[in-house]
A and B are shown apart, each in its own frame.
Chain A
Amino acid sequence: MLFLDIVSSILLLAGIFFGLSGAVGLFRFPDFFTRVHAASVTDSIAAILIIGGLLLQTSFDLNTAKLVFILLFLMVTSPTASHALAKSARHGGLLTLAETRPEDKQEHTQ
């Protein structure tokens, strides 16, 4: 039981770390697409780790099944949400930082 507790707290701590790094990235990254990337870290790996940690805390009953369903649902929906977000931005004409930079230079040289 103790072993499971240790593994579970390691998973939870790793999940918190990825969640926090996603939040920091959301504020610090330079353009929209890198920010989506940071946000999707919170959506995917952080959520998986935290739910994985919680799974080990249950006594393998109905709650475990519910958590597994939540995990499956998140693994389908959150990458889709990030994808739709980035794709809509692309369709709306938003450029990445790398694409906007050369133009900036050209403007400077002109």
Chain B
Amino acid sequence: MAEFIDLVLLAMLALTALRIIFLKDLFAVVMLFGIYSFLSALIFVNLDAVDVAFTEASVGAGISTVLMLGTLALTGRKEKPSTHSTLLPLFVVLVTGAALIYGTLDMPPFGDPDNPVHQHVAPRYIEESPKEVGLPNMVTSVLASYRGFDTLGETVVVFSALIGVFSLLGVRRKQKKDLDSGLESHRVLHVVAKVIIPLVILFALYVQFHGDFGPGGGFQAGVIAAAAFILYALVFGLPKAFAVVGPKFLQWMAAFGVLLYASVGLYSMYKGGHFLDYNQLAADPVAGQHYGIIIIELGVGFTVFAVMLNIFYAFGSQAERSNVQ
């Protein structure tokens, strides 16, 4: 049954990708991309990657789509016909695709437990991590503890993306003649948003602190919390959202998250261990692992939340500026 669902969903995914190629209306392209992300999240669930599906659904379908729509508001929604011939790209793609298909025939069969991927480090993670780290969710154990240094790098990349977006766009200072934007006439949206937003933030906190036991963690929680504030900014307007959490505060928060993560590593060195060696954080190594993971997940959550929301602010204030002009 799972194979059948897999076949159908992957076929739908392929059809969506095919449709994206031929559409000229960019608004529809972005919407299809949102569908594409949701479909891939479904496939990830079917392939047992629940944490990944969670992330893809909140990031790919949520934040990416909003950012692309924000860009479309500035650049226009129609793609102009190309003057170049499409034959050469088609040829390149067909040749590369044929080579890759030929390459897949050397791949080990899908789902076989004896595949080389499952022989090297994975058995150790699966067998030892519940004892060594003491968490049921192996993905969190590997993410935060075994590969903690890698995750620190990823967090820094997310942080530097914020620096990149800010140096390119910047957030506009508040001006007195600002139009009180937002969806003024949508009374129903106002009421519902007020009910929904606290629930979404509560859910984000649940995901943040329950990530050790079920699917979830700092990355997903940060994005979900950012989505709640993005909803607020969309419904009530950017100036009001700035009054709740301003861009300046978020800059500090993003930096604070990365520093919190790194300082756990430094503290464990101070205690006499290696960088990010959580065993040193408490007398009992398993308890130390627990403290370490909670703190670094919190750091990741802070950074991801602040970066995602601030990137949205940067795009949103650009769109408002061009509307006023």
Contact = CB atoms under 8 A, between A and B. Distances in A.
The answer to A–B direct touch (Cβ < 8 A) is: yes
Interface in A59-110: 73, 76-77, 80, 83-84, 87, 91
B196 A84 contact: no
B190 to A, nearest CB: 10
Nearest to B191: A80
What is the interface of chain B mostly: helix, strand, loop, or mixed?
helix
Contact of A87 (B186, B192, B195, B199): B186
B199 A83 contact: no
Contacts of B121: none
B185 interface: yes
Nearest to A72: B199
B186 A77 contact: no
A73 B199 contact: yes
Contacts of B196: 76-77
A100 B195 CA distance: 37
A80 B185 CA distance: 14
A2 to B, nearest CB: 22
B199 A80 contact: no
Contacts of A80: 188-189, 192
Contacts, number: 19
A80 B189 CA distance: 7
A87 B187 CA distance: 11
A73 B183 CA distance: 22
Contact of A76 (B183, B185, B186, B195): B195
Contacts of A73: 199
Contacts of A84: 183, 186, 188-189
Contacts of A83: 188-189
Interface string B163-184: 0000000000000000000010
Nearest to A91: B185
A74 to B, nearest CB: 12
Nearest to A87: B186
Contacts of B188: 80, 83-84, 87
Contacts of B199: 73
Nearest to B195: A76
A80 B183 CA distance: 14
A79 to B, nearest CB: 9
B211 to A, nearest CB: 16
Contacts of A76: 192, 195-196
Q: Kindly name the residue among B185, B192, B195, B196 whose own CB sees the greatest number of chain A CB atoms within 10 A.
A: B192
A76 B192 CA distance: 7
B108 to A, nearest CB: 35
Nearest to B189: A84
B185 A77 contact: no
B182 to A, nearest CB: 13
A51 to B, nearest CB: 17
A42 to B, nearest CB: 14
Contacts of B192: 76-77, 80
A87 B184 CA distance: 12
Interface string B41-73: 000000000000000000000000000000000
A84 B193 CA distance: 12
A45 to B, nearest CB: 19
Interface of B: 183, 185-186, 188-189, 192, 195-196, 199
6 contacts: A76-B195, A77-B192, A83-B188, A83-B189, A87-B185, A87-B186
Given A76-B196, A87-B185, 10 more contacts: A73-B199, A76-B195, A77-B196, A80-B188, A80-B192, A84-B183, A84-B186, A84-B189, A87-B186, A91-B185
In the A-B complex, the 9 residue pairs with the closest CB atoms: A80-B192, A83-B188, A84-B189, A80-B188, A76-B192, A84-B186, A87-B186, A80-B189, A76-B195
